[in-house]
Structures are given as C-alpha cells and as structure tokens.
Structure 1
C-alpha cells in the first residue's frame, strides 16, 4: 500500500508541475506572440484541391526560380514525394538560388538526418521550428508551427492545408483520395506570406534570408483579401466574430471538429437564429480519438438544425470557412482546440464573390461524396466507442 501511495503522490505532483508549466509558459509566450492582421491587398488567387496538381504547379514554379525559394511545411517525411522535393531544392541551391526550408520539429520528425545533411551540404538552409527547450518544456512540447507557406522569388506564394508527403497525393491506400485546399497567389498579398516566413525564421533562428530580392515590386491583382496569422491566442475570437456576423449561411470544412465551448455555442446560436450551418468532416480518421471526440459535439448541433456531412471518398483534410456565400477563409487551421489555442497558423480571408462561388462549387462536389449524419445514426454508434469519446473529450486540448 505504501508503494502505491507514493506512486500516486508522485503522479499527482507530475501532473501539477505539467499544468503549472503549461499555464506559466502560455502566459510568457503570449507576450511575444506574433498574430498580425495584414492590411487588405489585391492578388490573383487560384484554388487547388488536388495534391498532385499542387506539387506539379509548385515544382514548375520552383524550377523557374532565379533568386529565392522560401518553403515552410508542418509535415515532410522520409518518402519518395518528400525526397523528390528535397532533391529539387538541392538542385536550385547548387544553381545559386537562396533556398530556405523550415519544418516543424514534431510534424517533420520522420525526416532523416542524412537527408538534412545532404541538403545543407548543397546549400539549402534547413531549420526545425519550435524545438522543445527549457523553461516551460511541457508547454513548448505542445507548440506546433502548422503553417504551410511557400514563396518563390518573392512573387509567387502558396498557402493552405496540404503538406508534402505521399498521403497528401493520395498514394496511401489507408486514406485513398486526399481532399484538401491550397491557394496559389501572385500579386500584393505574396509580400504578406513572405513577411510571415521571415518572421518565423527570425523568431526561431535569429537570422534573416540572405537574398537581397526578398521583397520585389508587386502588381495589384484582381481579388481582394487579407492575410491573418494566429499563434494560439486570437483565432477563437476571430472565428466567433465571423459566426456572429453571418446572416444566411455558414459552411465549415475541417478534418477535426473539436471546438471550444464558445464556438460550439456560437454555431448553435446561429442555427437557432435561422442561419444555415453546414459542417463537412471526414468519415475516416488519421489520428487517434479525434473522430470519437467529435461525436460528443454532434448531437447538440444536429438538434439545433446543423447539417453534418461525413466525407467518405478518401480523407477530408480541408480547412475552409465560408460566410454568406461572399467570404472565403482558406488556410491552415483545423476547427479544433489545438489550432485555436496552441498552433501557429495562417488564414487568407478572401472578399470576392466570384472566387467564393468557385470554392462553393468545389464544396458541393465534396458534399456529393459525403453521407448526411442524423441523430438516429449518432445514437446507433457502438457502445464500445463511448470510452474513447470520454477520453478524447477529457484531453481535447492536446489532440
């Protein structure tokens, strides 16, 4: 009994220390959080929702680069798709182009040291972001740079939900087709993506890109938009304001529905006011507990009148937020607590009805490959799923 008691006391102390670390770390980090809302810009923006098409276009643009390639991804791996990109970056660095590759420490942990060493030897500046360190070790272990941003010659920008690995091109049988949204941007807004990249580089390394042509002159495009970066502090209030302002319709596409209490209540309130709320989520799961946890939120939404579609033709990794068929928000955050309160994220808020109409057309195709969830189906789920739901809800801030 004494041994059990001692172990229990040690466990409680460890939990208390981790919670204290998390609270103090969050308070300290808030003082230096980088969450800019850039001024409105006009750019030409293309929606890409196929991983192979994204890699094809990005590869073509990189091959044409003459001054700089700045690439930042949450996930790259030790697979063929990632290695082909590594080889291309090495080739461009050896040709004299300034190449920087930023990878999240946790998300890209599968990238092997020999790959990093050969890239560095070729002249590629490779840096891992958010490495755990003291003080606030537990807090830092939870921080992720979830942004996926690429800027080429300071003139062409990419941002969205795709990472660079085999599954994102639909090459993993487990997931099949991978549905996601990414933007290709040319025009004024590219400078904002560049600023975000430079800031993340400086904050993690203290260094700035070496190319003198980081900010070339840029022409005005046709689509009005603004870029907004979050760092775990302001995204919840931003999304809540969007929900409260909606008058007719809200569409949310997300791979993980684990909202904060405020956002869940805001969506329910919108439904009750007569706003049509549509949620699109995957039927499959690529992470433990996230699908089960979402089921703890669905009944309230369904009772309020929300339409929930579960995408079944592959995996649904889209991060989209559409307001009143006029405003499209496309970027990197999931609709979950990790993106809301931990991750470094970025969204592009697009005020353009023609572009939003294109996004809605793509979403319509996604819905056609989805099954409508009903309260009856929720009630029919296996009792064996309930413990996973309770556990997921209990640790939802860390999923």
Structure 2
C-alpha cells in the first residue's frame, strides 16, 4: 500500500510540474507570439478538394518555377509520394534556384537522414521548425507549426489542409478517400503567404537573405480575402467573432471537434437565436481519443437542434467554416484546442458570395457521403466507449 501511495504522489507531482511548465511556457511565449494582422486583399482563388489534383497542380507549378520555391508542410514522409516531391525539389535546387523546405520538427525528424542529406547536398535549404528546448521543455514539445504554405516565384501560393504523403492521395486502405480542402492563389494575397513563410524561417534560425523577386509586384484579383496567421493565442477570439456575426447559418467542417467552452457556448447561443448550426466530422479517426472526445460535446448540440453529420466515405480532414453563405474560412486550423491554444496555424477568410457558393456545393457533396447523428443514435453508442470519451475530454488540450 505504501508503494502505491508513493507512486501516486510521484505521478501527481509529475502532472503538476507538466502543468506548471505549460502555464509558464505559454505566458513566456505570448510575448513573442507571431500573429500578424494583414489588410484585406484581392486575389484569384481556386478551391481544390482532391489530393491527386492538388499534387499534380503543385508539382507542375514547381516544375515551371523560374526564381524561387518556398515549401512548408506539417507532414512529409518516407513514402513514394513524398519522395517524388523531394526529387523535384532536389532537381530545381541543382539548377541554382533558391529552394527552401520547412517541416515541423515532430514529424520532420522521422524522415530518413540520408533523404534529408541528399536534398541538402543538392542545395535544398531544409529546416525543421520548433525544435524542443529548455526552458519550458514540455510546452515547447507541444508547439507545432501546423501550417501548409507553398509560394512559387512569389506569384503563386498554396495553403490548406493537405500534406504530402500517400494517405492524402487516397493511397492508404486504412483511410480510403481523403477529403480535404486546399486553396491555390494568385494575386495580392500571395505576398502575405510569403511574409508568413519567411517569418517562420527567420524564427527558426534560417537565412533570410532572399532575392527581391520573392516579393514581385502582384496584380489585384477578383476575390476579397484576409490572410490570418495564429500562434496559439488569437484563433479562439477570431472564430468567436465570426460565429457572433452569423444571422442565418453556421457550417463547421473539421476532423476533430474539441471546442473551447466559449466556442461551444457561442454555437449554442447562436442556435438559440435561430441560427442553423451544422457540423461535419469524420466517422473514422486517425488519432486515438479525438473521435471519443468529440462525443462529449455532441449531446448539447443535438439538444439545441444542431445538425451533426459523420462522413463515412473515407476520412474527413476538411478545415472550413461558412457563415451566412457569404464568408468562407478555409485553412490549416482544426476546430480543436490544440489549434486554438498551441499550434501555429493559417486561415484565409474569404468574403465572396460566388466563391462561397462553390464551397457550399462541395460541402453538400460531403453531406451526401455522411450519416446524420441523431439523438437516438447518440444514446445507443457503446457503453465501452464512455471511459474513452471521459479520458479524451480530460486530455483534450493535447489531442
């Protein structure tokens, strides 16, 4: 019995130290958090919802690059799809063109060392972002750069939810079709994507001596939008402000629904005021406990009359919000506490009815591949799932 209590005390102390590390680390990091406020711009924006189409468009644009290639992804792997990209970046770097590849440390460190070294030897400037360090080691372990940005010649930009690996092209049987949204941009907004990319590079010790043509003069496009970069502090408030603007409808598409208390209450209040609230989430899960954690928030939504759809034809990885059929928010941020309070994210807030109509048409197709979650279905879920739900909610800050 004494051994049991000793172990329990040690675990409690360890947990308290980890919480203290996060609290102090977050307070210290707030002073240098990078959350720029960009002005409204106009660009031409294309919605891409197929991984194979995205990969081919991206590869074609990189092949045709003439002055610079800047690539940042959260995930690249050791598979064939990733190696096709590595080979192309290596090929372009060998011509003498400045080629940068930024990867988050947590996943980038799993790429084989000889793969990274081969690219570096060819001239690709590879950086792993957010390496953990003291002080506040545990907090720094949780800080992830979850952005996916590509800027080519300073003129073509990509941002969205897809990473570069086989599963994102539907090549993993475990997930099947991978539903996601990505944006291809030309026009004024590309300069803001470039700015965030270079700032992430500089903050991680990268050489920021870049040619002036990475910021060429850009034409004005047709779609009004604002680039929004968050660093774990302002994203919750941004979403709250948009939810409170809604007069008719709110649609949230997310692979992980783990809202803060304020966001959950804001959605319930919107529904109380007559705003329709629709949530689309995956039936499958790609991480432990995230699906179960989501269930702990569904009862309130269902009781309030919100609609919840669970996508079953593959894995649903879309990160989008649509307000009143006018405003579309598409980017890298999930509707979860990790994106709100830890990750470095990027969204594009688009104010254009025609573009939003295209987004809504795509969402309607997603709903046709989904099952509605009813109160009856919710109540019939397995008793064995309940402990996992409680554990998921307890750990929701880190999921």
Q: What does residue 308 of structure 2 align with?
A: 308
What is the SS of the residue equivalent to 1:36?
coil
CA contact (8 A) 1:232 1:341 kept: yes
Distance 1:11 1:278 in 2: 41
TM-score (structure 1 length as normaliser): 0.99
Kindly provide the CA deviation profile for residues 103-155 of structure 1, in whole angstroms up to 9, marking residues without a partner as x: 00113333111110000000000000011100100000000000000000000
What is the SS of the residue equivalent to 1:100?
strand
Q: What does residue 179 of structure 1 align with?
A: 179
What is the SS of the residue equivalent to 2:32?
coil
Structure 1, gaps ≥5 residues long = none
1:110 corresponds to 2:110: yes
Deviation at 1:10, TM superposition (A): 2.3
Deviation at 1:30, TM superposition (A): 0.3
Q: What does residue 295 of structure 2 align with?
A: 295
Structure 2, gaps ≥5 residues long = none
Distance 1:8 1:68 in 2: 55
Distance 1:304 1:340 in 2: 24
Q: What does residue 128 of structure 1 align with?
A: 128
TM-score (structure 2 length as normaliser): 0.99
Deviation at 1:2, TM superposition (A): 3.7
Q: What does residue 3 of structure 1 align with?
A: 3
Distance 1:190 1:372 in 2: 38
Q: What does residue 280 of structure 1 align with?
A: 280
Q: What does residue 144 of structure 1 align with?
A: 144
Distance 1:206 1:293 in 2: 38
Distance 2:323 2:151 in 1: 28
Kindly provide the CA deviation profile for residues 268-299 of structure 1, in whole angstroms up to 9, marking residues without a partner as x: 11111100111000001000001111110001
Distance 1:5 1:132 in 2: 32
Q: What does residue 246 of structure 1 align with?
A: 246
Kindly provide the CA deviation profile for residues 233-282 of structure 1, in whole angstroms up to 9, marking residues without a partner as x: 00111101111110000010000000000000100111111001110000
Deviation at 1:209, TM superposition (A): 4.7
Kindly provide the CA deviation profile for residues 181-233 of structure 1, in whole angstroms up to 9, marking residues without a partner as x: 00000000000000000000000115215333210111111111010100000
Q: What does residue 85 of structure 1 align with?
A: 85
CA contact (8 A) 1:249 1:325 kept: yes
Deviation at 1:17, TM superposition (A): 1.4
Distance 2:117 2:393 in 1: 41
Q: What does residue 168 of structure 1 align with?
A: 168
The residue correspondences of 1:1-399 to structure 2 (distance < 5 A) are 1-399=1-399
